[in-house]
Structure 1
Amino acid sequence: MHSRNSRTSRSSISISQQRMMSHSMAGLALEQQKLLYYIGVDVGTGSARACIIDSMGNILSLAERPIQREQLKPNFITQSSQEIWQSVCHCVKSVVRDSGVPSEKIHGIGFDATCSLVVVEEGTNKDVAVGPDFSNTDQNIILWMDHRATEETAEINATGDKCLKYVGGQMSVEMEIPKIKWLKGHLPDGKFNQCKFFDLADYLTFKASGKETRSFCSTACKQGLLPVGVEGSEEGWSREFFNQIGLEELVEDDFRKIGGAVRNSDKGKNFLSAGEFIGAIDETVAEELGIPNHCVVGSGVIDAYAGWVGTVAARTDVSIPALAKSDQEKVGIDRATGRLAAVAGTSTCHIAMSRDPIFVDGVWGPYRDVMANKFWCAEGGQSCTGALLAHVLTTHPAYTELSQLADAASVSKFDYLNSRLENLVQTSKSRSVVHLAKHLFFYGDYHGNRSPIADSSMRAAIIGQSMDNSIDDLALMYLGACEFIAQQTRQIVEKMIDSGHQLSTIFMSGGQCRNGLLMRLLADCTGLPIVIPRYIDAAVVFGSALLGAVASESFDMSGNKSALSVSRKSSIAGDPSNQGSGKKSALSKFGGVGGDDLPSPYTAPSATASTSQIASTVGFPFPTADEGHRYDESFEESQEDGAELNFKAQSKWKKDMEDRMKGRSSDNGDTMWNVMYTMTGGGKVVQPCAETHPDRVLLNTKYKVFLDMADTQRKYRRMIDDLEV
């Protein structure tokens, strides 16, 4: 009898569980029906990428395609806008197909790109050859890293114009006005007068929407535009500046060739902050991309700024007291102030937002309106981080041995070196990994210094090298390079804080986030917590997808159902009390816990998602579909039996939509913050050790040596320059 009752009990439980699962699956299916989807496009130096996300912030599919660059002579590096657009189309079609989402539920698309100059012909939009081969119109982009315009850059900087104050005191050869000036002096006769110019991100939104709307991000950061009111600016562009540098053609017809004068009237705005609504996708382009005609286009950004969008709203279940206190005192996009985004790759960009303009020596900006209306951004950077680590490894005599050992262990070279350092701690009976390099002083500006010294003549110096060429010596050199990256980050952070930025946390992105050694050193050198997002390889393209969601939400708030409106419950739309509560949340399900979970604080890789894991990653905390984006029923109801709208109906819908958005004032970025905070998900925290920890004390002392090495190098150079006049 007892056995029979047990079987009955187990059977009842099973049936109950099955019923619950059935209800849950039905509920999940219902919730999924209400989801909307957004596409992000990221065009980097070597590839185009696209991803598709749902309205809970999950990346469902990601695609990448290489793009070529041509270098016919030193310092001349070009690309093709046609190839880039074809790659974008391929990637977008791929993610739509691979994700399996209903295309009619894709409601927004956002773009980011490198700050490269695109040149096309006015009237026809045909490609214009930018040289050195002026017969090849396929090469119509001057890549950001092209350095042909050195003389033009010097002439521009000699003017001392007020716009230079906002780009670190002088324009870089990598910015776009020097490149335009070079083209005026070298294009075949009469061709320059036929040209118009785009930053690459703005060109992509132009291709997508058919509108020549420009972004403050591209124009203020790379072209010298001052938003209205800054330094008395009335039109954005300066007539006096362009006339003074010999580019009077750019002034013609109210700056027609570069987007026009800045306007904000009942006819709409022609310069927008990140993610603001540009318009609906062009019908022909929608077919090219495989997305619906009702998809809206958001204003684009430079790629590093998309990394800011994709990281700085990450939440954790580990309390960061300074961040929690800051959040309690702020609302909306103001909560992004104090959060430094470090977008790491070959180089690293450091982007911080502030309410007021803050000038920092050696840091570009401040730029107003680039991310949010009336807010300012500053951009520091290290010219050589990922490239530095690669250089240190590949130039060492033990590199071949490292490759073989890492391959045999089926781990990355960095993970192998991290483990090797742990073994050295044991065999040498050292206190810690940091202690191993106590007498190694590595200064790694091999490629000049961008911030905060802003001196392209800076070079590397190493004190403490021996004749040891072993794999252990390579591990120590690698450790020294990681320490240099962290110490220089501290130098940038301190400069920014001393100038007025109140920085409490660093939000990282990029493949370097997987390097547990580097993340620990960054935390211990800067004394700030490091937050690593769930999509470390895809933070930039994810940020672009969020821009598409912002544009969709901006449109929704103008008349349609609002998906993430500011009137939502505070527990969903960014209540600061959600942070640091001390309660165990579901965030830990995907590894969103603090640094204490690392088996070794210096060598364990970060437990965050890679691109190969994206499809199975589920983030938290997110709203349910009822609380999140809702499918636009008003659009579906206008279709019969699921058929597509006819062309006439589509055109009327598009015109009504854009008429409704004309003259709409900015919400100062709060819509963007709601989207970012709701959809970014969780991040892993690496906390710094206590200030009294022996490693922190050692690193503080070595920081003094680091600063002295930088100062001494410049002193030595001046001594020689004074002699060799």
Structure 2
Amino acid sequence: MQSRRSRTSISISQQRMLSHSMTGLSLEQQKMLYYVGVDVGTGSARACIIDSMGNILSLAERPIQRQQLKPNFITQSSQEIWQSVCHCVKSVVRDSGVPSEKIHGIGFDATCSLVVVEEKSNKEVAVGPDFSNTDQNIILWMDHRAIEETAEINATGDKCLKYVGGQMSVEMEIPKIKWLKGHLPDNKFAECKFFDLADYLTFKASGKETRSFCSTACKQGLLPVGVEGSTEGWSRDFFHQIGLDELVEDDYRRIGGSVKNDNKGKNFLSAGEFIGAIDESVAEELGLSNHCVVGSGVIDAYAGWVGTVAARTDVSLPALAKSDREKVGIDRATGRLAAVAGTSTCHIAMSRDPVFVDGVWGPYRDVMANKFWCAEGGQSCTGALLAHVLTTHPAYTELSQLADAASVSKFDYLNSRLESLAHQNKARSVVHLAKHLFFYGDYHGNRSPIADSSMRAAIIGQSMDNSIDDLALMYLGACEFIAQQTRQIVEKMTVSGHNLSTIFMSGGQCRNGLLMRLLADCTGLPIVIPRYIDAAVVFGSALLGAVASESFDKSGAKSAISASRKSSIAGDLSQHNPKNSLAKFGGIGGDDLPSPYTAPSATASTSQIATVGFPFPAPDDVQEEQFDEDEESGSELNFKAQSKWKKDMEDRMKGRSSDNGDTMWNVMYTMTGSGKVVQPCAESHPDRVLLNTKYKIFLDMADTQRKYRQMVDAVE
């Protein structure tokens, strides 16, 4: 009998390269690699699949429910979320037509919500207020039930508070865990373990309880080894002091264990680092192959950072160009502020050294890259603010009818209405229309930089006008508030030591030309609008899948592609990344090719951008191993072989050292594509002068509100 090769002992790298030679595909398709991203937001789960040029090929979304049975109590279901994730991933794989064997990595992001399950069974635990409903086992990030617990935690003055802006927010997860200890019935708390939602998703995908520095450092008070003398990550004294002794038990097992300092079997990873192979049963649920690898997840806003800050721009940005000439690798991301806008907005900046900013969360080390620090400012409601202003105004029904009749969005209609009003009133500009309207919009408290959940909205200059024109002015005031508060956050960060040169936006708010103009003119910084306006966050998660795949491939003793093969890497990328193994691996390219999910308004350019394209080497020099004969296995991969590959991957990754995030930067830079720039007007422009004056009024309104509250509290 003629001997033939069995695939039972084939390595994961070899299996991947064999997928390139699949019959029935064009040559270009055979050379392309693919990655999946999953984003779980406040109201929906999304998934996308991208190719190795950074093009989104398919996108799917499914709504997820949230319950609010009483004020400040907002819950979700991890079962529903996971089912939605599976639906979306299967949909994008099916709709893209990409063979599952060619999908090499998956990344996850999610809101910073607390998932509670039974420690032994992983079954859902009801988090209240209805403790009989185990479908509701997630406390949503915007849940504010733990106000008293937050105050008690902040009263300790523990050193970990120094790294969350001086005090924990009610939106973070340790206050929620403390609330649960005081309210879960029947000693149920003793049976629980806790995940940030992004870490729960990677746990579901890989079967590993590996946690991310992003989730634990940003929302749970973990300090990486060496920060403030930390040796374990968690602080025993802190947990004992706040009455959470259970979290310390057995090396912090309920919250992921302690941080190991020997780089072996690490429990905590930076963004996109390799966790392991996807679990075999989960691969079937998701419609993926078993050799897809899972990358360490991030909080959703941080995926927006990944998906935007490496964008190349359609006009020259001197400050950014000068900065880039002085930096290499992930260091080039420092000084670029990502503003990730949705229901709320997060402002994320990376720095090489820790920068402390009162009222701004962080600095957090290692969350995105080893030894680099991130700071996170935020506005509790921006998209939610605009929706509230529109829907509560008496003219909202009229607005809906007029916008529908004109076949435009409500925001586009209002922007057009404001232009007409300016023309009718012979006003200098739209901004001039609101010169005597002073809108302070902290309806849901202040996250940054005041960090006061008791802050509320105030409007000076209202009349009894209930017309559509009054609604347009109220909307203008809300947009101006968002921009002025962004300036307040940027100034606070700059004064404290951040050197911010550009704001990289993401989210549907990017389509609002009025808001983008106000952001540029209020902050005085150029605003970069990304290639994928509505999908920048889920795109960032897909990049994390590419990072995990690339990290795994670089770790192998035998490369799937011979080290002797050289790729010709041209242009400025070769100057920054002369050893870019992404190109060598055969598919990560920089050409900003068309995608069905690219918004034309976001990619309109004033000049052509020189991008880098990489050749795709044929898989003709795979280093072969000896194969055992196994007549029964044929071309299918049996369970024993799958388990062996999974173990081989994990063994190969043990003891790996971090590359300080340069692999992630290479992925980001070569796949993000280009963005459109909104430049601020000259500082002497009348609109800038007016907005500068109104900024002083904005600050005074915030200070006066707190003063009034203190005066009343002194007698009540």
Contact 2:274 2:551 survives alignment (8 Å): yes
Contact 2:6 2:630 survives alignment (8 Å): no
Give the whole-Å Cα distance in 2 for the aligned partners of 1:10 and 1:296: 19
Give the whole-Å Cα distance in 2 for the aligned partners of 1:11 and 1:290: 21
Contact 2:379 2:448 survives alignment (8 Å): yes
Q: Once structures 1 and 2 are overlaid, which stretch shifts more, 174-183 or 236-245?
A: 174-183
SS at match of 2:616: coil
Give the whole-Å Cα distance in 2 for the aligned partners of 1:429 and 1:8: 81
Pairwise CA distance, 1:618: 14
Contact 1:510 1:539 survives alignment (8 Å): yes
Give the whole-Å Cα distance in 1 for the aligned partners of 2:402 and 2:332: 46
SS at match of 2:313: coil
Change over 3 Å in CA distance of 1:514–1:9 after alignment to 2: farther
1:261 equivalent to 2:258? Answer: yes
> 1:590 pairs with 585, 588, 605, which one?
585
Pairwise CA distance, 1:637: 15
Q: Deviations over 1:126-146 (max 9, x none)?
A: 222223333333322222222
Change over 3 Å in CA distance of 1:281–1:560 after alignment to 2: farther
Pairwise CA distance, 1:723: 4.0
Q: Deviations over 1:431-481 (max 9, x none)?
A: 222222222222222222211112222222223333332222222221121
Change over 3 Å in CA distance of 1:416–1:613 after alignment to 2: farther
Pairwise CA distance, 1:717: 2.8
Pairwise CA distance, 1:191: 2.6
Q: Once structures 1 and 2 are overlaid, which stretch shifts more, 546-555 or 595-604?
A: 595-604
Give the whole-Å Cα distance in 1 for the aligned partners of 2:657 and 2:579: 41
Change over 3 Å in CA distance of 1:82–1:584 after alignment to 2: closer
Pairwise CA distance, 1:547: 0.5
Change over 3 Å in CA distance of 1:327–1:652 after alignment to 2: same
Give the whole-Å Cα distance in 2 for the aligned partners of 1:587 and 1:649: 27
Change over 3 Å in CA distance of 1:172–1:478 after alignment to 2: same
Pairwise CA distance, 1:181: 1.8
Q: Which runs of 5+ in 1 are unaligned?
A: none
Contact 2:294 2:545 survives alignment (8 Å): yes
Contact 1:316 1:587 survives alignment (8 Å): no
1:375 equivalent to 2:372? Answer: yes
Change over 3 Å in CA distance of 1:79–1:231 after alignment to 2: same
Pairwise CA distance, 1:608: 5.1
What residue is the counterpart of 1:318 in the other structure? 315
Q: Once structures 1 and 2 are overlaid, which stretch shifts more, 36-45 or 606-615?
A: 606-615
Give the whole-Å Cα distance in 2 for the aligned partners of 1:440 and 1:232: 50
Give the whole-Å Cα distance in 2 for the aligned partners of 1:652 and 1:10: 12
Pairwise CA distance, 1:561: 8.1
Q: Deviations over 1:541-571 (max 9, x none)?
A: 1111111000000001112787999999999
Pairwise CA distance, 1:188: 3.1
Give the whole-Å Cα distance in 1 for the aligned partners of 2:11 and 2:369: 53
Pairwise CA distance, 1:195: 1.7
Q: Deviations over 1:23-62 (max 9, x none)?
A: 9999994222111110111111221111111111111111
What residue is the counterpart of 1:581 in the other structure? 576
Q: Once structures 1 and 2 are overlaid, which stretch shifts more, 175-184 or 378-387?
A: 175-184
Change over 3 Å in CA distance of 1:399–1:652 after alignment to 2: same
% identity of equivalent residues: 90
Moved over 6 A (4+): 5-28, 560-571, 579-605, 609-615, 617-627, 632-642
Pairwise CA distance, 1:397: 2.3
Contact 1:341 1:350 survives alignment (8 Å): yes
Give the whole-Å Cα distance in 2 for the aligned partners of 1:220 and 1:12: 39
Pairwise CA distance, 1:315: 0.9
Change over 3 Å in CA distance of 1:241–1:417 after alignment to 2: same
Contact 1:440 1:463 survives alignment (8 Å): yes
Q: Deviations over 1:61-115 (max 9, x none)?
A: 1111122223333333222212211111111111100100011000000111111
SS at match of 1:125: coil
Contact 1:317 1:587 survives alignment (8 Å): no
Change over 3 Å in CA distance of 1:625–1:500 after alignment to 2: farther
What residue is the counterpart of 1:600 in the other structure? 595
Give the whole-Å Cα distance in 1 for the aligned partners of 2:101 and 2:577: 41
Pairwise CA distance, 1:21: 28
Give the whole-Å Cα distance in 1 for the aligned partners of 2:283 and 2:98: 16
Q: Once structures 1 and 2 are overlaid, which stretch shifts more, 458-467 or 670-679?
A: 458-467
Pairwise CA distance, 1:288: 1.0
Change over 3 Å in CA distance of 1:602–1:437 after alignment to 2: farther
Pairwise CA distance, 1:655: 1.4
Contact 1:46 1:66 survives alignment (8 Å): yes
Question: TM-score, with normalisation over the residues of structure 1?
Answer: 0.86
Give the whole-Å Cα distance in 2 for the aligned partners of 1:716 and 1:602: 49
Give the whole-Å Cα distance in 2 for the aligned partners of 1:124 and 1:585: 44
Pairwise CA distance, 1:323: 0.5
Q: Once structures 1 and 2 are overlaid, which stretch shifts more, 70-79 or 384-393?
A: 70-79
Q: Once structures 1 and 2 are overlaid, which stretch shifts more, 434-443 or 336-345?
A: 434-443
What residue is the counterpart of 2:455 in the other structure? 458
Pairwise CA distance, 1:310: 0.8
Give the whole-Å Cα distance in 1 for the aligned partners of 2:210 and 2:15: 54
Q: Deviations over 1:122-165 (max 9, x none)?
A: 23222222233333333222222222222222222221111111
Give the whole-Å Cα distance in 2 for the aligned partners of 1:300 and 1:511: 23
Pairwise CA distance, 1:603: 21
Contact 2:37 2:543 survives alignment (8 Å): yes
Contact 1:592 1:684 survives alignment (8 Å): no
Contact 2:174 2:220 survives alignment (8 Å): yes
1:723 equivalent to 2:696? Answer: no
Give the whole-Å Cα distance in 2 for the aligned partners of 1:461 and 1:715: 14
Pairwise CA distance, 1:722: 3.1
Contact 1:566 1:671 survives alignment (8 Å): no
> 1:695 pairs with 670, 687, 694, which one?
687
Q: Once structures 1 and 2 are overlaid, which stretch shifts more, 694-703 or 252-261?
A: 694-703
Change over 3 Å in CA distance of 1:487–1:552 after alignment to 2: same
Q: How does 1:131-142 map to 2 (within 5 A)?
A: 131-142=128-139
SS at match of 1:379: strand
Contact 2:357 2:493 survives alignment (8 Å): yes
Contact 2:14 2:560 survives alignment (8 Å): no
Contact 2:589 2:614 survives alignment (8 Å): no
Q: Deviations over 1:581-640 (max 9, x none)?
A: 99999999999999999999999994459999999x99999999999xxxx999999999
> 1:417 pairs with 388, 398, 414, which one?
414
Contact 2:107 2:545 survives alignment (8 Å): yes
Q: Deviations over 1:351-374 (max 9, x none)?
A: 111111111111111111111111
Give the whole-Å Cα distance in 2 for the aligned partners of 1:60 and 1:450: 36
Contact 1:46 1:68 survives alignment (8 Å): yes
Change over 3 Å in CA distance of 1:21–1:415 after alignment to 2: farther
1:665 equivalent to 2:649? Answer: no
Contact 1:564 1:573 survives alignment (8 Å): no
Q: Once structures 1 and 2 are overlaid, which stretch shifts more, 319-328 or 135-144?
A: 135-144
Give the whole-Å Cα distance in 2 for the aligned partners of 1:403 and 1:625: 56
Pairwise CA distance, 1:291: 0.4
Give the whole-Å Cα distance in 2 for the aligned partners of 1:614 and 1:400: 44
Contact 1:586 1:621 survives alignment (8 Å): no
Contact 2:278 2:291 survives alignment (8 Å): yes
Aligned residue-pair number:
712
Q: Deviations over 1:264-291 (max 9, x none)?
A: 4363211000000000001111111110
1:711 equivalent to 2:703? Answer: yes
Contact 2:12 2:645 survives alignment (8 Å): no
Change over 3 Å in CA distance of 1:13–1:85 after alignment to 2: closer
Change over 3 Å in CA distance of 1:56–1:222 after alignment to 2: same
SS at match of 2:601: coil
Change over 3 Å in CA distance of 1:214–1:693 after alignment to 2: same
What residue is the counterpart of 1:623 in the other structure? 617
Change over 3 Å in CA distance of 1:138–1:534 after alignment to 2: same
Change over 3 Å in CA distance of 1:650–1:409 after alignment to 2: same
Contact 1:354 1:375 survives alignment (8 Å): yes
Give the whole-Å Cα distance in 1 for the aligned partners of 2:597 and 2:462: 22
Q: Deviations over 1:288-329 (max 9, x none)?
A: 111011100000011111111111111123111101111110
SS at match of 1:659: helix
Change over 3 Å in CA distance of 1:584–1:472 after alignment to 2: farther
Give the whole-Å Cα distance in 2 for the aligned partners of 1:493 and 1:696: 16
Give the whole-Å Cα distance in 1 for the aligned partners of 2:588 and 2:472: 28
